[in-house]
Chain A
Amino acid sequence: RKEVEQDPGPFNVPEGATVAFNCTYSNSASQSFFWYRQDCRKEPKLLMSVYSSGNEDGRFTAQLNRASQYISLLIRDSKLSDSATYLCVVGDSGGSYIPTFGRGTSLIVHP
């Protein structure tokens, strides 16, 4: 079975902290990678795609390490509003990928 593993947390950090999540995947042929954010009882929403060269969107940075088969998400200067569950999603091939979800990492940012 193709697996995507995440540390469930919760990660409990103060405002302003930097926090990093990792996600490992078992299928070396995976080609599509995403981070989603999910608030309690709401639908997952795309946070960012993850590109081979790494990419940044404001306070968020995503990295891909194909050799070690993991992706990471770094959140700088955490805000209270960043509190959510972060889901790692990995696709098994290119355009027609079937996505596999990790179980999510819970982040709690406190004052």
Chain B
Amino acid sequence: EAQVTQNPRYLITVTGKKLTVTCSQNMNHEYMSWYRQDPGLGLRQIYYSMNVEVTDKGDVPEGYKVSRKEKRNFPLILESPSPNQTSLYFCASRGPNSPLHFGNGTRLTVT
């Protein structure tokens, strides 16, 4: 089944403790992206990647890192999480001329 898989679904952590949210897709998509969604603000793009080893900042990249060492994986790294990074995160991927496919989301709480 074609899908985008994010893990974990829920995560509660403390300020400053490094964490990684994984994202994997099995559709051989070149484009992958991370979004955060907060009430009243809609989906905001954090980082995106057009292909392996090619990543670019989105609208809200501060405090986040990503890597794209292989086509299927696009992890989101928070080196030192802060409470303002408490949010709902979505990973998405797409092929050429096709719509985005989203993962199930990761609800992160930073205390």
Residues of A within 8 A of B (CB): 32, 34, 36, 41-46, 49, 87, 89, 94-96, 98-99, 101-104
Contacts and interface: CB of A to CB of B under 8 A. Distances in A.
B100 A94 contact: no
Nearest to B94: A99
B105 A41 contact: yes
A43 B102 contact: yes
Contacts of A43: 90, 102-105
Contacts of B105: 41-43
B100 A95 contact: no
A103 B41 CA distance: 6
Interface string B24-55: 00000001010100001111000010100000
Contacts of B35: 101
Contact of A96 (B50, B100, B104, B107): B50
B100 A89 contact: yes
Contacts, number: 45
* Range, interface on chain B: 20 to 34
Interface of B: 31, 33, 35, 40-43, 48, 50, 88, 90, 94, 96-97, 99-105, 107
B97 A94 contact: yes
Contact of A95 (B40, B43, B97): B97
Shortest Cβ-Cβ A-B pairs, 5 listed: A103-B42, A43-B102, A95-B96, A101-B43, A95-B97
Contact of A49 (B31, B99, B103): B99
A32 B97 contact: yes
A98 B43 contact: no
